[in-house]
Amino acid sequence: MAVIFELAVQGAQMLSVLLLAPLLIGFVRKVKARLVRRQGPALIQPYRDLIRLMRKEVVLADNASWLFRVTPYLIFAATWVAAALVPTFATGLEFSWAADLIVIVALLGSARFFQALAGMDVGTSFGGIGASREVMIASLAEPAMLLIVFSLALVAGATQLSTVAAFMGSPQVGLRVSLGMSLIALVMVAIAENARVPVDNPATHLELTMVHEAMILEYSGRHLAMIELASFLKLVLYVSLISCVFLPWGLAGAGAGPKALAIGAAAYLIKLAVLAILLAVFETAVAKMRVFRVPDFLGAALMLALLGTLLLFVSRSL
Amino acid sequence: MNSTVALLLCGPAALLGTAILAVAASRLVYATRLIYGAALVISAALLVTIAGHLAGSPGEVSAITLPLGLPWTGARFRLDGLSAFFLVVVNLGGAVTSLYALGYGRHESAPHRVLPFYPAFLAGMNLVVLADDAFSFLLSWEFMSLASWALVMAHHSDAANRRAGTIYLVMASFGTLALLLAFGLLAGPTGSYAFDTMRVAHPGRFAAGAVLGLMLLGAGSKAGLVPLHAWLPLAHPAAPSHVSALMSGIMTKVAVYGFIRVVFDLLGEPAWWSGIAVLLIGGVTAVLGILHALMEKDLKRLLAYSTIENIGVIFASLGLALAFKANAMPSVAALAFTAALFHVLNHSFFKSLLFFGAGAVLTATGERDMEKLGGLIHRLPVTSFVFLLGCVSISALPPFNGFASEWLAFQAILQSPELPHWGLKVIVPAVGGMLALAAALAVACFVKAFGITFLGRVRSPVVERAHEVDRWSLAAMAVLAAFCLLAGILPGFVIDGLSPVTLSLIGDRMPVQTAQPWLSIVPIAESRSSYNGLLVFVFITISASLAAFVIHRFASHALRRGPAWGCGFADAVPAAQYTAVSFAQPIRRVFGGFAFRARETVEMPAPGSLEPARLKVDMHDVAWEIFYQPITGAIDFATERLNHLQFLTIRRYLTLVFLYLVILLLVLALWP
């Protein structure tokens, strides 16, 4: 019976990230629109878009290969699995030991690998420009991410997210400079990984500035729906990651009852809303930077993460 | 028990016999099939013998002394856990390569230059791993080097290959010299060359440091550590592709074996600082190797540079193992050492697979330059699929095998705060950052390798005529791709298989992995970190197929073909696609400044002129310029000066002789 309950909780987690992902995007868009005094589309607009895309036929470029058609499902699956492994409302889920934070980051790497390949499949310049910029951004974001993992592991003594979250929720953490630096670095990496302003603009279709959009320019119909859903899921993943590591309040522990789970779910929704509002405010306040300024931005994240790690070597309590 | 090692020695003997047979038979029609078939059978037999030995008594040591070689030592051979593991790597690689060569070898233009040396090369690698005294080790090592040199020179009508061969020969001799000196130091004043006596006699602190440095030079030059790597990207691609696979996938591992055998086995307890040099060199090698690979547009040279990166990862893990072992943390040292050996195995799988793929592309199109390829996924469907699996594996992406071993290495790095020394504490995370950078750049590199070669539109007519390669080659590649996936989703079995080696060299082992629930791997404790490749693989497969099924069933499965979106410009020429160089341009702008001193200049035509504008990229191999050019310059200078001695008059020669005598007498007179 306990096993069935645990499995149900795990299943609820998988479904909730999948179902919440378009809502989060819709909420960010709504807040951004309101900030510039526009009415903005309805909150459920991303759901409508996805359903419409899924129903449309796929227009495939003449020389697209099988890889181009398989990739959307692979990207979606890898991102979904990764997102489902990050604790959202509860830690210590049935399958949480299947992957630690490094695996989750690497799973996103797998998704990116196939996305960049699909961008090059049709053989237009847009796909190439997007793929080559994407791997450049990733080559800087991944080491920064690993150093963040490193400082977290130094503080919490584990890379297993459930353990990290449980430790960060305990009173022995306190306020630490190194964790502050890791938080800033993680936010910067998250912005770059999710192709948000100022690194990339998810709403642009201007050739010279796009990165993510350039890679998926040839996609249409259900394939585009899968890729869009994967990118929504990725935002949920990073928001959940930040909230479970740095805002671990209200998380239900391993083997928690329905009441704790309900509290966890409510707390999770509040955290999502707060972080989404912050993201929208930030995106509205800054301008997109040139592609070759992005290395400076990510270099700053790398340095902050490294400084955080080195501070921990000076003193475990900093 | 001597029978196992005696039985194993029959393998190299049979291979040498095959080599002699090949000299006689190489011009026959069936020679290719005969020789590669024989090599396949012998390698497979060796593999079965070792498998039987490992299944029966994995920890057992078996030694034999043959009355060959130097009269007062004889030739000693020995089989222990370490050599058994490397024999598996060598013979698995040898067997699969022979299988591939059964098909690929038929396209060889000069079989009589390849066939005799191929089995000799395999025999040399087997003997290095089995050797148990310095003399047989060095002899086998030189034999291996020379056989591979002959294979590099197989197509010597090409001037580039001749240059590669010359540089390889010089570097190989240099490496052997370093090894010779290292063994001299280990043998001590008594000059006992058997490994058994070296193992018990521990050299002093300075001698041990010198041996470590010499091994980094000797084994490192063969493995391709920066800055001794310059020969590798020239020589490995120059050989026929199946030999490139052996050299990159297997021979570099034999070099790693030499390093492990001396530094972990013969040298005794390491000093606390001994890991630092290995760690730093490993980290720098990994980053520079992959950056060079990214800048390449020749597919085989790209793969050779990526070998350098993987060797860097292996040496960084070995450095970690040394550091932890020296600081009395054997369980973490066992973790790092297991990561290194696991990566050795993984790299032998995917690098051979990728070189086979490059060979298949070469057979089908006759082209190694990626910028003349493109769109091969339509012409070579099977090759492109297995090559893609190889790319995913080498890019360290879950759930494939490259990720499993790099994940173990990162887990070991995360233990570094426990180290007592400040230097190590700071260096280990820095090296961890370098390895993460190398892993991320590897993804970029193999997106480029696969994307430019196999995807996109056809760039030249050779691709239009390409056809899928023969079944032998495809079978060999499929076997390796299957190994890559299996080792990735069931890493626990490999880790447990490595435990006798770590037990004998480190004195500890990782926890038993196959006993873990659901076959996940747990380096230290489940609450710290765990990874389950099988589950991740199953989850991805299920959710991808579920998504595809649901959408096709309930939403839409309509599909229409149309022209690609050209932004208003219809029918852009294929040359407008991204090329290998333009793909690497963003990364070159970020890293090229310090790694290659890269400089880009744009030559703009005068206003009104119809000349095209040109972008010129200027790049330097810094290691080549700092280390090699001064040395070659000094040698050239010295020979130029000495050359004058040939053209002196008789009076000057007499003067020189007289001066020499005077100096000699002075020295004798002043000698105390």
Residue A21 tokens read as 């992902």
Give contacts of B397 with chain A, Cβ < 8 Å: 106, 109-110, 113
Exposure string over B147-179, b if 16+ CB within 10 A, otherwise e: bbbbbbbbbeeeeebeebbbbbbebbeebbebb
Q: Which of A201, A188, A164 is nearest to A87 (CA)?
A: A164
Which pLDDT tens digit goes with each residue over B144-179? Answer: 999 999 999 999 899 999 999 988 998 999 999 999
What average pLDDT does range B68-76 have in this prediction? 79
Backbone angles phi, psi at B657, to 5 degrees: -65, -40
Dihedral (CA of B484, B486, B487, B488) sign: positive
Cβ distance A98 to B584 less than 8 Å, yes or no, reads: no
When pLDDT is cut at 50, 70 and 90, the band that residue A166 belongs to is confident
Question: CA–CA separation, A303 vs A210, rounded Å?
Answer: 26
Chain centre to alpha carbon of residue B648:
50
Query: What integer pLDDT is reported at residue B36 of this predicted model?
Result: 94
Which pLDDT tens digit goes with each residue over B341-384? Answer: 999 999 999 999 999 999 999 999 999 999 999 899 999 999 99
Dihedral (CA of A237, A243, A244, A249) sign: negative
B414–A contact, CB cutoff 8 A: yes
Contact, B330 vs B381, CB < 8 A? no
Backbone angles phi, psi at A93, to 5 degrees: -70, 170
What average pLDDT does range B398-404 have in this prediction? 93
Q: Given a cut of 90, is residue B273 above it in pLDDT? A: no
Cβ distance A153 to B583 less than 8 Å, yes or no, reads: no
Q: Which of A246, A243, A234, A238 is nearest to A308 (CA)?
A: A246
Question: CA–CA separation, A248 vs A266, rounded Å?
Answer: 13
Counting one residue from chain A and one from chain B, the pairs whose CB atoms sit within 8 A come to 262
B422 Cβ neighbours under 8 A, 6+ residues apart = none
Burial of B272 per CB tally in 10 Å (0-12, 13-18, 19+): middle
- Alpha-carbon separation of residue B19 from B76, B123, B245, B331, B447 (angstroms): 23, 9, 19, 45, 40
Q: Given a cut of 70, is residue B279 above it in pLDDT? A: yes
Query: What integer pLDDT is reported at residue B571 of this predicted model?
Result: 66
Cβ distance A67 to B447 less than 8 Å, yes or no, reads: no
Q: Given a cut of 80, is residue B658 above it in pLDDT? A: yes
B251 Cβ neighbours under 8 A, 6+ residues apart = B125, B144, B148, B222
When pLDDT is cut at 50, 70 and 90, the band that residue A20 belongs to is very high
Q: Which residue of A has its CA nearest to B555?
A: A55
What average pLDDT does range B502-531 have in this prediction? 84
Three-state secondary-structure class, residue B329 = coil
Question: CA–CA separation, B340 vs B320, rounded Å?
Answer: 9
A204 Cβ neighbours under 8 A, 6+ residues apart = A210, A213, A288
Query: What integer pLDDT is reported at residue A197 of this predicted model?
Result: 86
Alpha-carbon distance A31 to nearest alpha carbon in chain B (angstroms) = 30
Q: Given a cut of 90, is residue B25 above it in pLDDT? A: no
- Residue B574: left (phi > 0), alpha (psi -120 to 50), or beta? alpha
Query: What integer pLDDT is reported at residue A310 of this predicted model?
Result: 82
B594–A contact, CB cutoff 8 A: no
- Looking at B188-240, list the stretches that DSSP marks H as alpha helix, in order from N- to C-terminal side: 195-200, 205-223, 232-238
Please name the member of B410, B429, B532 whose beta carbon is closest to the beta carbon of A102.
B410
Which pLDDT tens digit goes with each residue over B295-322? Answer: 999 999 999 999 999 999 999 999 999 9
Backbone angles phi, psi at B127, to 5 degrees: -70, -40
Which pLDDT tens digit goes with each residue over A247-288? Answer: 888 888 777 788 888 999 999 999 999 999 999 999 999 988
| DSSP element (H, E) containing B592 | helix B580-595
Contact, A250 vs A96, CB < 8 A? no
Chain centre to alpha carbon of residue B13:
26
Question: CA–CA separation, B443 vs A208, rounded Å?
Answer: 24
B316 Cβ neighbours under 8 A, 6+ residues apart = B278, B279, B282, B283, B286, B409, B431, B434, B435
Question: CA–CA separation, B122 vs B512, rounded Å?
Answer: 34
Average pLDDT, chain B: 91
Cβ distance B396 to A73 less than 8 Å, yes or no, reads: no
Half-sphere exposure at residue B385, Cβ-oriented, CA atoms within 13 angstroms: 12
Exposure string over A46-62, b if 16+ CB within 10 A, otherwise e: bbebbeebbebebbbbe
The maximal CA–CA distance of chain B, rounded, in angstroms, is 104
Question: CA–CA separation, B383 vs B568, rounded Å?
Answer: 35
**Residue length of chain B:** 672
Half-sphere exposure at residue B294, Cβ-oriented, CA atoms within 13 angstroms: 35
- Alpha-carbon separation of residue A22 from A88, A193, A228, B50 (angstroms): 16, 18, 9, 56
**ipTM of this complex prediction, to 2 decimal places:** 0.95
Burial of B74 per CB tally in 10 Å (0-12, 13-18, 19+): middle
CA angle, B167 as apex, B101 and B366 as ends, to 5°? 40
| DSSP element (H, E) containing B581 | helix B580-595
Determine the straight-line distance between the first and last CA of chain A, rounded to whole angstroms: 44
Q: Which residue of B has its CA nearest to A159?
A: B529
Which pLDDT tens digit goes with each residue over B28-60? Answer: 888 899 999 999 999 999 999 999 988 887 777
Query: What integer pLDDT is reported at residue A117 of this predicted model?
Result: 96
Query: What integer pLDDT is reported at residue A318 of this predicted model?
Result: 66
Burial of A244 per CB tally in 10 Å (0-12, 13-18, 19+): buried
Query: What integer pLDDT is reported at residue B513 of this predicted model?
Result: 84
Question: CA–CA separation, B581 vs A149, rounded Å?
Answer: 33
Please name the member of B440, B448, B518 whose beta carbon is closest to the beta carbon of A143.
B440
B50 Cβ neighbours under 8 A, 6+ residues apart = B8, B84, B87, B88, B91
Query: What are the residue boundaries of the structural domains of chain A, listed by start?
Result: 2-314
Give contacts of B556 with chain A, Cβ < 8 Å: 54-58, 221-222
Average pLDDT, chain A: 90
Contact, B425 vs A135, CB < 8 A? no
Cβ distance A73 to B414 less than 8 Å, yes or no, reads: no
Query: What integer pLDDT is reported at residue A178 of this predicted model?
Result: 87
What average pLDDT does range B434-447 have in this prediction? 94
Give contacts of B 199-258 with A, CB under 8 A: none
B624–A contact, CB cutoff 8 A: no
Give contacts of B 511-570 with A, CB under 8 A: 518, 520, 526-532, 535-536, 539-541, 543-545, 547-548, 551, 555-556, 558-567
Dihedral (CA of B164, B165, B171, B175) sign: positive
B574–A contact, CB cutoff 8 A: yes
Question: CA–CA separation, B207 vs B573, rounded Å?
Answer: 64
Query: What are the residue boundaries of the structural domains of chain B, listed by start?
Result: 580-603+612-620, 627-670
Which pLDDT tens digit goes with each residue over B219-236? Answer: 999 999 988 898 999 999
> Count of CB atoms within 10 A of residue B235's CB?
29
Q: Given a cut of 80, is residue A202 above it in pLDDT? A: no
- Alpha-carbon separation of residue B527 from A101, B2, B607 (angstroms): 12, 45, 68
- Looking at chain A, list the stretches that DSSP marks H as alpha helix, in order from N- to C-terminal side: 2-35, 45-55, 66-85, 101-121, 125-156, 161-169, 177-193, 212-215, 221-246, 258-285, 294-314
Give contacts of A159 with chain B, Cβ < 8 Å: 411, 414, 528-529
Q: Given a cut of 80, is residue B526 above it in pLDDT? A: no
pTM for this entry: 0.94
> Count of CB atoms within 10 A of residue B542's CB?
12
Cβ distance B450 to A117 less than 8 Å, yes or no, reads: yes
Question: CA–CA separation, B654 vs B638, rounded Å?
Answer: 22
> Count of CB atoms within 10 A of residue B319's CB?
26
| DSSP element (H, E) containing B562 | strand B559-562
Report the interhelical angle of B3-25 vs B117-130 (nearest 10°).
160
The percent of residues in chain B predicted with pLDDT above 70, rounded, is 99
Query: What integer pLDDT is reported at residue A316 of this predicted model?
Result: 67
Residue B5 tokens read as 């090692």
